[in-house]
Structure 1
Amino acid sequence: MPIPLIIGAAAAAAGLYGAKKGISGALDHQAAKKTNSESEAIVREANQKVETRRESTNQSLEQYGQRKLRAFNGVIADFILTFEQLKNVEIVKSPELEKLTEQDFSQNPLTGLRQDYQALKDAGLGLGAGLSGGAALAFGAYNGTMLLATASTGTAISTLGGVAATNATLAWLGGGSLAAGGYGMAGGMIVLGGIVAGPALAVFGHILGNKGEQALNTALGNLEQAKTLRTESNIIADKLTAIGDVTKLADNTFSTISSHLRNAVHSLKKTIASQGTDFSSFSNEDKEVTYRTVKFAQLIKAMIDTPILDEQGNLVLSTQKRIKEIAVMAADQA
């Protein structure tokens, strides 16, 4: 008679084991669903953080690019037309400019600014013209040499917008994704600072597979990948913030110097109206007016020649220091 008892006991044990596995499987499914929801929340937050910083940085660069163009079509053009009226000017020999020349600035701002302005006109961006979003972005990010001309021939590029379109970082900043390849977030990470994105995320709102244990393992893997994405996204956001901060500093500094140059050109016009165009006959006071105008023109040229990003789309680390030095010089002359 013991055999039926043994069989019954075995069946009962199997039933209990099955019930336990069923309960365990249901709990695993529930845990997997909760874990996937957590992963999705992490990814959404990371994407939103980067997107917000991207939009802000893009706006700052475009604003700076537009400001530089307005200066070329305004105060810079006015300086060129006014200063080139003067005769017998020996600005480069004046001790008044020693501080600037020691800082490696051009000794003849008229020539450099005239070349830049001509290049802009050759590119179809002369008086009355504006910049598209991509062109403004590129004009804000790069210096004059990188955008406007080659050092040897002075040939202007055909379109500033093309520069933005062919640079992965600027394309991502301008559009939020990399159109050529559709990398999206991962592409942005690879572009900005050479960060290598982790494996493609597989975060799902439903449970994968039929087994609760398998679903839970998959969900835990998703969570780890989501956390990796969050870490990389924080780095990207910090890089974007750094670019934006330097751009805003450049924009404010450029605006201040433009105002100083505008006032100085106005004073120079009054000097020419009353004293004529022969610099050698100017009084010391009138020569000082000319010197001061040239100094601000040099500082404007220095700002134009200072890039925010390099050709690979990385922040130029020396730019912030250089802009601050230019700002101090402008304050000394104001």
Structure 2
Amino acid sequence: MGIAIVDAVKLAKDNKRSYEHLDARRQSLAQKMAAESGAQQKSRTELYESALAPFQKVFGRLKNVDLVELARIDLMTGRNLPEAALPGIRIGVVQSLGVLAGGAAAGAGVGAATFAAVGAFATASTGAAISGLSGAAATSATLAWLGGGSIAAGGGGVAAGTTVLSGIVAAPVALALVAIVEWQGRKARNGERVTSAKLVEAAAALDRAEADSALVRRRSRQVRDVLGDLRVALSDRLPSLDALITSNPDYMTYTSEQRRVVAQPVAIASAAVMVMSTPIATDDGTVNEHIRPAVLAAKQRLLLMTEPS
């Protein structure tokens, strides 16, 4: 009796475990992305506050600047510092499943499994889900459902449901009511099979999301590393630039060596702006193909500045 419902209960338990496992993976992935996003934004803020903003203040005192000779830089303010919030992980299949209906079979008997299954999948005559009821209300609603519905709705009510569950009815009546249970069980089993297929799809989507986010986080760490190097390089050159402009703010009168003192921090600031303005990831959560060349270009620029300023 009720073999389909017993199968549905087992599938529901398996599906619930699968969902919980996928959801735990999703939450872990979201936490990793949030942590890296926070670290990335901290790196950018430190670069701006300790290097770019002081450079902007010093460089702004320079007069008669040759914009053809020097790299053009779009200096930022704290208000328009590019955000680096890494994209959230999109695994809508998992998220759309919601909390799966569950219900463990109490005991080893088919009758107990049927009772648990009805509680997991059926609705009372009032339209409320039996799984949302408790105590005597849940028991009565379950037995009435087994009895073909409430007496008011033309069914056999609690008494008939009790008889079905205990198996002490005339064979023709029992078979008729068991057929109802089996029909409802098949519906529930089919629903759980659909859910199982969706969970397989969700697992594949999560696999892809984990692979994409791992590469995004790797690129983000590379960006943080180069931004740190740029911050140190720019900070190291600011005292010389400040002293030069303080003594003589007219760029047109500078010697080649003095112009070099200006050109190096300008090039570093330009590289920093370029890196920070290049998105690390695209809207779909994959790595932006332009971020690696931007990082490599910034590293190359730093390598060319081997002489002390």
TM-score (norm 2): 0.62
- Measure, in 2, the Cα distance between the counterparts of 1:220 and 1:202: 16
Q: Residue in 1 aligned with 2:205? A: 232
In structure 1, distance between residues paired with 2:235 and 2:292: 24
- How far residue 205 of structure 1 moved from its aligned partner, in angstroms, is 1.3
- Residues 123-178 of structure 1 show CA distances to partners (whole Å, capped at 9, x for unaligned) of 8x9xxxxxxxxxxxx7114xxxxxxxxxxxxxxxxxxxxxxxxxxx95xx3xx9xx
CA distance 1:37–1:324, change in 2 (3 Å): farther
Q: Name structure 1 gaps, 5 residues minimum.
A: 1-21, 95-106, 126-137, 142-168, 177-187, 191-195
Q: Map of 1:23-172 to 2, 5 A cutoff?
A: 25-26=2-3, 29-90=5-66, 92-93=68-69, 107-109=71-73, 112-113=74-75, 116-117=76-77, 120=78, 139-141=83-85
**What's the Cα RMSD here?**
3.3
1:198–1:228 Cα contact (<8 Å) kept: no
**Residue 101 of structure 1 aligns with which residue?**
none
**Equivalent of 2:194 in 221, 226, 230:** 221
- Do 1:201 and 1:222's aligned partners in 2 also have CA atoms closer than 8 Å? no
One-letter code of the match for 2:273? K
Deviations 1:176-220 (A, max 9, x none): 9xxxxxxxxxxx335xxxxx7798468321233632555444433
Q: 2:91 matched to which residue of 1? A: 189
Quote the Cα distance in structure 1 between the aligned partners of 2:248 and 2:37: 41
- Contact 1:47/1:233 (CA < 8 Å) preserved in 2? no
Written as runs of structure 1 = structure 2, the 5 A alignment for 1:267-306 is 267-272=240-245, 276-306=248-278
The answer to whether the 8 Å contact 1:253/1:327 transfers is yes
Partner of 1:251: 224
Aligned residues: 230
> 1:265 and 1:226, CA in 2 relative to 1: closer, same or farther beyond 3 A?
same
Judged with a 3 Å threshold, the aligned counterparts in structure 2 of structure 1 residues 48 and 327 are, in CA distance, closer, same or farther, namely: farther
Match of 1:205 among 102, 112, 117: 102
Letter in 1 for 2:278: T
How far residue 47 of structure 1 moved from its aligned partner, in angstroms, is 1.4
Residue pair 2:213, 2:286 contacting (<8 A) in 1 also: no
Name the amino acid aligned to 1:204: A
Distance across 2 between alignment mates of 1:230 and 1:85: 58
What are the superposed Cα offsets for residues 32-77 of structure 1, whole Å, 9 maximum, x if unpaired? Answer: 4333222222211211212211122122223322332333333112
**TM norm structure 1:** 0.58
Preserved contact between residue 60 and residue 247 of structure 1 (Cα < 8 Å): yes
Q: Is the 8 A contact 2:241 2:262 kept in 1?
A: yes
Cα deviation, residue 299, structure 1: 0.6
1:134 matched to which residue of 2?
none
Distance 1:108 1:78 in 2: 18
Structure 2 unaligned segments of length 5 or more: list them: 104-116, 123-180
- Cα 1:221/1:80, change in 2 over 3 Å: closer
Q: Distance in 2 between matches of 1:68 and 1:308?
A: 13
